[in-house]
Chain A
Amino acid sequence: MKLSAHELGFQALNEKIHSSKEDVVINECFGERFIGVGASSKTITINGTPGNALGAYLDGAAIIVNGNAQDAVGDTMNDGKIIIYGNAGDTLGYAMRGGKIFVKGNSGYRTGIHMKEYKEKRPVIVVGGSTGSFLGEYLAGGLIIVLGLDTDEFPAGYFTGTGMHGGEMFIRSNKTPISLPKQVSINEASQSDIRRIEDNLAEFSKVFDIAMDEILSKNFYRLIPNAKNPYKQLYTEN
């Protein structure tokens, strides 16, 4: 089924997506919100710029974006997959608790804020480019991988992992990270660490057609919470 988002408006668009039993292709997309909210089956392909909260509460469906996405992609997502061939905005994977998000380009501030995991539910975000500051803020679980494929600089901003108390992050770079808060502990990833994330790297490589050799050509840092230094307030100190 083909739909014109701009003509329908976000409400009618989402009703049509919800009631469709087949895969959906959305064209003329200019900021229509909540696309694919709660969807549990089918593939939704978007040509354009989907609005905020794309794939919120996603529960098993697949979303493919040919373009850039805006803020809060995969908000509270439970299962399924979101693939973005451009960039994503702020708060990518906000409070996500399952499923996978792959972004070819960059993502904004607060990527993976407050992601969490429970038993077999372990959300994954892989960003091919760089992210803004506050990467993995309040991270409680899950896996975030940042590849920085288009840069020689460290591919995340300031205050990575502020308030982090669970989960892990892998950041690919030959440069050392800047201004990490005390509650984050950082090490170079070992061969066995890399092997644990290899399936996600391979999937990223396949989806965006980027050679594995290229992805593995730099060092990876692994960031985990530092149990000795629980969360200390940032905002009042400044």
Chain B
Amino acid sequence: MREGMFRNLSGCAISGIISKSGKRFSGQRIIDSITVMHERSNGLGGGFAAYGIYPEYKDYYAFHMFYDNRTAKKECEEFLEEHFDIINLSKIPTRKIREITDEPLIWRYFVTPLPTKLAESQLDEREFVARCVFRINTCIDGAYVFSSGKNMGVFKAVGFPEDVGYFYRLDEYEGYCFTAHGRYPTNTPGWWGGAHPFALLDYSVVHNGEISSYDANRRAIEMYGYKCTLLTDTEVITYIIDYLHRKNKLTFNEICSVMAAPFWSTIESKPQEEREELEFLRYTFASQLINGPFSIIVGFEGGMMALNDRLKLRSMVVGEKDDMVYVASEEAAIRVIQNDLDKVWSPKGGEGVIVTVEKGKI
């Protein structure tokens, strides 16, 4: 069964860790954090995004692929060879464990666009790569790109997140930022591709909630060439972030004021300059306003952003210790990996927390 084939009603867990000094640490820490929130998931999806894990290939796009069968793999590899220079390819290393079954073929490719193809397309490099990702996901039956950024990777599966982490040997990776998700699917049955994080280029999203504006957001974003293939709300959030940040060059602070725009009554109470900016963003990007409960952690090259919906219908806690920043659905998930915090607080609804690695430290 795939996403979209039936609707099932039912919370989720998210966690993120980042080193502001760009110090790399083991993926075991994010596994330990998400494990504490076991009860928030139901075993139908778990996943991680890891940044800074491929320093030896940092100039190449790392494509992580699910294939249903060898035919899909062959067809996809032909497409890749036609458009990219493939520097390295391999199976993604996994551990066979009882808790994770029915895995697809899971492959990884380090690629760079072929200069001739890129020139011919008259697109900038990132747009070229994004379009190739959509092409594979919509046109090659049984092939699915679930990670396509540089020096980062998504690892996801059907199962509890702690098992998914063990399955993908996440403890053997070192990065400067990790995010994690434990899934409790509310609308779709739970397939490997439907697990979080959702990612496009270096943007990744883990999400706890259920957005009520899904279809309005989907229709709007599809006008700009994005194709929502999975019928899940998190996929749409990922494309909205790509659209606002990469295409419209909004800052992450501005993105928060778009996606979780304050109520008009709240905007009216602000000083003139701030009011005008908020009004501009609400009018210009009205279709990117996200309604309904959500707490999300967005990973991107060199940083991490956490945001709650404006009514704050989901929980989220932030902790700081020295150069480390932690975000999780529950404070306990931070305390279990760092009990001695300098600061701990809950951001307000619509108040983004944006953490970036110091320049030149990655």
User: Footprint of B on A, CB under 8 Å?
Assistant: 6, 10, 29-31, 33, 48-49, 51-52, 68, 70-71, 87, 89-90, 108-109, 132-134, 157-158, 178-179, 238
Contact of B355 with A by CB under 8 A = no
Are B266 and A158 in contact, with the CB atoms below 8 A? yes
Bitwise, B319-358 to A at CB < 8 A (1) or not (0) is 0000000000011110110000000101011000000000
Interface centre among B264, B265, B333 (most CB of A within 10 A): B265
Are B330 and A179 in contact, with the CB atoms below 8 A? no
User: Footprint of A on B, CB under 8 Å?
Assistant: 36-37, 39, 263-266, 269, 311-312, 315, 317, 330-333, 335-336, 344, 346, 348-349
Kindly list chain A residues whose C-beta atoms are within 8 Å of the C-beta of B311.
133-134
Interface centre among B264, B332, B344, B349 (most CB of A within 10 A): B332
Are B312 and A109 in contact, with the CB atoms below 8 A? yes
Q: Is the interface of B mostly helix, strand, loop or mixed?
A: loop
* Cα(A121)–Cα(B168), bound, Å: 54
Are B332 and A30 in contact, with the CB atoms below 8 A? yes
Kindly list chain B residues whose C-beta atoms are within 8 Å of the C-beta of A108.
312, 315, 346
Kindly list chain B residues whose C-beta atoms are within 8 Å of the C-beta of A179.
265-266, 269
Kindly list chain A residues whose C-beta atoms are within 8 Å of the C-beta of B331.
31, 49, 68, 70, 89
User: Which residue from chain B places its CB closest to the CB of A72 in the assembled complex?
Assistant: B315
Partner of A31, one of B269, B312, B333: B333
Are B312 and A238 in contact, with the CB atoms below 8 A? no
Kindly list chain A residues whose C-beta atoms are within 8 Å of the C-beta of B330.
31, 51-52, 70-71
Are A132 and B315 in contact, with the CB atoms below 8 A? no
Kindly list chain B residues whose C-beta atoms are within 8 Å of the C-beta of A6.
336
Q: Name the distance in Å between B342's Cβ and chain A's nearest Cβ.
A: 14
* Cα(A179)–Cα(B195), bound, Å: 40
7 A-B interface contacts by CB (under 8 A): A33-B39, A52-B330, A89-B331, A108-B315, A132-B346, A132-B348, A158-B263
The 7 closest A-B pairs by CB, nearest first: A31-B332, A30-B332, A49-B332, A109-B312, A30-B336, A238-B263, A49-B335
